[in-house]
Amino acid sequence: MSRNGCKLLYTEERVRALFSRMRSDLHEMNFRHQCQLADLRRELDEVRAAYAELRAATLARTQAEAELASLYRQREIARARAAERAPTMPLN
Query: In total, how many domains does the chain have?
Result: 1
- pLDDT value for 92: 65
pTM (2 decimals)? 0.58
Q: Which range of residues forms the domain containing residue 37?
A: 9-82
Calculate the dihedral angle through the C-alpha atoms of 10, 16, 19, 23, rounding to the nearest 10 degrees. -160
Per-residue pLDDT of the chain (92 residues; tens, 9 = 90+): 556 777 778 889 999 999 999 999 999 999 999 999 999 999 999 999 999 999 999 999 999 999 999 999 999 999 988 887 777 777 76
CB 8 within 8 A of CB 2: yes
Answer whether residue 65 is part of any domain: yes
Answer whether residue 3 is part of any domain: no
- pLDDT value for 19: 97
Answer whether residue 52 is part of any domain: yes
- pLDDT value for 15: 94
- pLDDT value for 81: 87
Instruction: List, as one string, the DSSP characters of 71-83.
Output: HHHHHHHHHHHHS
